[in-house]
Structure 1
Amino acid sequence: MVTKVFKDRQRLGSDSANAKILLGSLNHLRATDRIKLFAFCLMPDHLHVAFCLLPGEELSEVVRSFSKFTALQINRHRSKSGSVWQEGFHDRHCRDRDELVSLCEYIEHNPVRAGLADVASDWEFSSASLLGNGMLDREWWP
């Protein structure tokens, strides 16, 4: 699981065009066989993603390329330049299936805990939503 925060906690995740850029980039990582995606949630000021790296991939390189590409696209959309993401990221390795299930539930219920949605499936930019659920590779769950 990776958590990535927007620089200075900017609320860039509230913009639907930015959300499409971020979700499109996650789909690109899937389509190019870099990750298998288990859960995600784009919050106004940060992003949570649970995924499995595919053979030959390194976590720092996948996160770096995702961050670089999405920053460039978000800056183009906003007609700005500069940093979009806070330096670094927080990661957590899942040891077993039960921990993965718990982390995915945590990720998908983040908007409910934050008071942004009544139920997880109401949050459009999450794997709990009807739109987001179609992006998952859960047949790959251990």
Structure 2
Amino acid sequence: MNIPHRKRRRAINEPGHAHFLTCSCWQQWPLLNGDRSRRWVLEAMQRLRTRLRVTIWAYVIMPEHVHILLRPQDREYEMRRILAALKAPVARRAKAHLQATHNREWLIRLTTSHGKRQVFRSWQPGGGYDQNLWSERPIQEVSDYIHANPVRRGLVDRPTDWIWSSARSHAGLPGSLLDVDKVVLD
């Protein structure tokens, strides 16, 4: 399989900055199209929040990608560790699920060669998209962009109709699957 060259973008780990992240599924396949896999992402976000001390300000889980707006609380952090804490548990659970259900077709489709070894891929490799944010206006604009994703795709009429995002939490409505943290800039 020939994978097109992707630009590498160096993450900037700047204390006090928020990060707008996008993690895409392998080959842009809709691997997050079901409730089970979306719950795995929510669980990974919750663990990320507590284990690596990040605040989560906004998120959306789409069928083939995830957007998340977060801010590390520690002065020193590595985005690669944060991304791994988000992506690796979801990939492990996906692989375990496919093995348990004997879904050989998808196990083969999601396995690729990396040098001489075979690697299971549910995510595109690398850091994905990572943009640093440090002021209130861009943070609100990114949050609005994140929440509007399902509307732009025609999945729902209003952002708050998509339960797989933080739009309900932002609107103060009940039924949010993962409450988000209040945006505080110091």
Q: TM-score, normalised by structure 1?
A: 0.91
CA distance in 2, matches of 1:10, 1:131: 28
Deviations 1:103-132 (A, max 9, x none): 001001100011111000111110113443
CA distance in 1, matches of 2:122, 2:48: 19
- Give the greater-gyration-radius structure (CA): 2
From 134, 137, 141, the equivalent of 1:102 is 141
Deviations 1:73-114 (A, max 9, x none): 122123246100001210111130111010001001100011
Aligned to 2:21: 2
CA distance in 1, matches of 2:159, 2:167: 6
From 77, 90, 100, the equivalent of 1:57 is 77
Q: What secondary structure does 2:138 align onto? A: helix
Identity %: 23
Q: How far off is 1:34 after superposition?
A: 2.3
Q: How far off is 1:3 after superposition?
A: 0.2
Spell out the pairing of 1:79-98 with structure 2 (5 A cutoff). Answer: 79=99, 80=107, 82-88=120-126, 89-98=128-137
From 34, 39, 48, the equivalent of 2:67 is 48
Give the number of the structure whose residues are more often helix, by fraction: 1
Aligned length: 141
Contact 2:21-2:69 at 8 Å conserved across structures:
yes
Q: Which runs of 5+ in 2 are unaligned?
A: 1-19, 100-106, 112-119, 169-173
CA distance in 1, matches of 2:22, 2:129: 5
Distance change in 2, residues 1:5/1:17 (3 Å)? same
* RMSD, matched Cα: 1.6
- Stretch of structure 1 that moved more, 75-84 or 100-109: 75-84
Q: Which runs of 5+ in 1 are unaligned?
A: none
CA distance in 2, matches of 1:132, 1:49: 15
